[in-house]
Every structure is written in structure tokens, then in C-alpha cells.
Chains A and B, each alone.
Chain A
């Protein structure tokens, strides 16, 4: 599980768009996974199972925040997720953060799972818990939106 943490943390960073919140989410995921470990089926992929836990926790969290009337981070708050590059790199990275922040949750998670985490459409659909066709159309919409926002630099 320790070996999976960097990748889980990357997924969490994409979902939460804020390092501290991403680490909260990661910690919750690990704790939930350890408590629920009997539910993990031997021979199935541990990483997919943990992605699923994380994704569901995040959705719960997002709903709870909406109920509490809190707004999500505004789109400038989650910039500079990682990279300590030069100034130019940092400015460019912020563009990606801003573009990702504008995507609806369901498109963002599809984009993250397939394009960042490298899961197949089928695996991503299983993690999200939707049909492959649905996942595919969310991905296409998310990707088109990103291309529209970032396209000039690509």
C-alpha cells in the first residue's frame, strides 16, 4: 500500500486541486481501506480498489460541502500543485490547474483516471461505477473542454 501512495496522492491532487486537501483525502482513503480490508478481493487489483474508495470519499466530501454552502476552491486557489520549476513552468502549470478546475467533477475524474493515471476506459468505468460508454462520453467532453482552454499551447 505504501508503494501505491504516490499514485493515490497524484489522483487525490487532481481531484482536490489543493495539496493539503489532497493529503487529507489520501489519509482518509488509506484509513478506510485498512478498516474495510476484508472487502478487498484477493487477486483483484489493490490500486483500482483504492482509487474507487478515494473517488467515492471525494464525491461524499464534495456533496457535503455543497450542502454546507461552502464553495469549492475558486479556480485560482489550487494553482501550482507540484513542480518546482522555473517561473515560466509555474505559470504554465497554473493554466492546467485552472482548466481542470473548470471541468465538472465527473469529467475531471474521467480525465484524471485515463489521461493521468493511465487506466483503460474499462478500468476507469469500473472505478467510477458507470458504463464504459458513459465514461467515454464524459472523457470526450472533458478533453474537448481542456483542448479549448489549453489548445493554443498544444
Chain B
């Protein structure tokens, strides 16, 4: 069976229906030349994605933030019913940092071989990132990116994070970083009125909604994060 270049490209893009994709997959398995073509498509896609990814990580310029959040914040509201969103938009600081476009259900909390972690507590790379990373300052290629920090109602420091496999919010207590919220493709945000923001690829808003719901006060700015980190993220 032969396939058009369009079909091969669509296969590499994951845009074929399952029956067609299965046909192509069989052909690709059997034909190294086809496999090489598909591989080139995927490599190109990965290269483009990597090229533009830093824009997602970069801090937003003030003028863009202000365009979304004019001094009269009610103007921002896309629908009057979304009063809650207006409050969310008053957050400055670290939340201008995008999460990965797609987060899936699983969150890797433990790495094999690590000293027995407490159930429900961050371990390994996640714990390390939560301990050390400043929001939005993840090194390129880091497995976990911390995107926001805030204090919850008890005064404990909490941090929102994203990784290749998912994201969530962890709060610091005496024993470590307890993962209190996990976010994935099918996890609903607490708000029923937020449907448009919760669809695939829009999980960043869902994570911010979770953070907003838990937070007492504003997000920590970088200076506050440094101070908290210096104190081991213990309650002030």
C-alpha cells in the first residue's frame, strides 16, 4: 500500500483516524524508508516546538499584563458571570508563566531507588524543584517547572508546578511537600462556569484557578520566594 506525502505527514501529526493510522503504522514498520520520513516530520516538529518554547517561559511584559488587566478590572471580564475570573486576573507576579500545553493525568511523585518517600509527598525531582526552583526560573529541559508560590489559609507555603506528565499544587508541612491537588486532562476545576478554559490545552488556567482558590493573599514575588526558600519554606 502506498501513501501520499500528506497522509504520512498527517500520520506524524497524529491527525489520522485510528483505522487509517493503523494502516500507516503497519506500512511504516515494514518500510525503513517510510519510517525515516515519519521520523523527519517528527524531528521537525520537535525542533520548531523547542525553538518557540522559550516564549512560553519568558516573563510577560508589563504592557501586555496591563492590556489584559486595565486599572478598571471589570473591563476585563469577558462575561459578567465570570466575576471570579476578575479576581484571578488581579494576580501579578509569577503566574505569567505558561504551563506545558498539555498535562496528562499521571504525576510522577517518586523515583525508583529514592529513599522511601512518604505517600502523598513529593519526592525526587519534584521535591528538589519545589525546594529550590524560583517560579518561572526552571532551567531549559528541567523535568519540573515551578510556576507559582503562595501561602494558603493556614499560612503554609504552597507551590504550583508542571511537569511533562502533569501538574499540581504541593504545600509544605513539617514532613515535606504534600501534594494537595493534582491536575490532569480529566480533572475538573472547582468552577463550573469555566468550561471554555478547561478544554484540552488550557490546563494552565485550571491550575491557576486551583491556586487562586487555595491562596490567602497574593502570589509570592521573587524576593518573597527567595526569603521563603532561605527559611526552608517553613511557615513564617
Contacts and interface: CB of A to CB of B under 8 A. Distances in A.
Bound pair: A and B? yes
Interface of A: 1-7, 9-10, 13-14, 22-23, 26-27, 30-31, 34, 37, 40, 42-47, 81-85, 93, 96-97, 111, 114-118, 120-121, 136-137, 139-140, 143-144, 146-147, 150-151, 153-154
A26 B45 CA distance: 24
B15 to A, nearest CB: 5
B106 interface: no
Given A31-B67, A82-B55, A6 B48 contact: no
A154 B43 contact: yes
A22 B204 CA distance: 21
Given A6-B97, A46-B78, A115-B45, 5 more contacts: A6-B60, A9-B58, A10-B52, A96-B51, A114-B13
B9 interface: yes
A85 B54 CA distance: 10
A3 B44 contact: no
Contact of A47 (B52, B53, B57, B201): B201
Interface in B169-225: 195-197, 199, 201-202, 204-205, 208
B75 A13 contact: no
A26 B41 CA distance: 29
A109 to B, nearest CB: 13
Interface residues of B, number: 53
B63 interface: yes
Interface of B: 5-6, 9-10, 13, 15, 40-41, 43-45, 47-49, 51-58, 60-61, 63-65, 67-69, 75-76, 78-79, 88-89, 91, 95-98, 101-102, 140, 195-197, 199, 201-202, 204-205, 208
Classify the interface of chain B: helix, strand, loop or mixed.
Answer: helix
A137 B7 CA distance: 11
Contacts of B208: 3
Contacts of A136: 6, 10
B63 A23 contact: yes
A37 to B, nearest CB: 5
Interface of A is mostly: helix
Contacts of A84: 54
A14 B52 contact: yes
The 9 closest A-B pairs by CB, nearest first: A82-B54, A6-B98, A3-B205, A154-B43, A10-B55, A30-B67, A83-B54, A96-B51, A6-B56
A14 B48 CA distance: 10
**Highest count of chain B CB atoms <10 Å: which of A6, A26, A82:** A6
A99 B208 CA distance: 36
Contact of A115 (B10, B48, B91, B202): B48
Contacts of B89: 1-2
B137 to A, nearest CB: 12
Given A30-B64, A81-B51, A2 B40 contact: no
Contacts of B9: 139-140, 143
A91 to B, nearest CB: 12
A150 B43 CA distance: 10
A111 B13 CA distance: 11
Contacts of A34: 67, 75-76
Nearest to B15: A121
Contacts of B196: 42-46
Contacts of A146: 44, 48
A43 B79 CA distance: 11
Interface hub of A83, A117, A136 (most chain B Cβ within 10 A):
A83
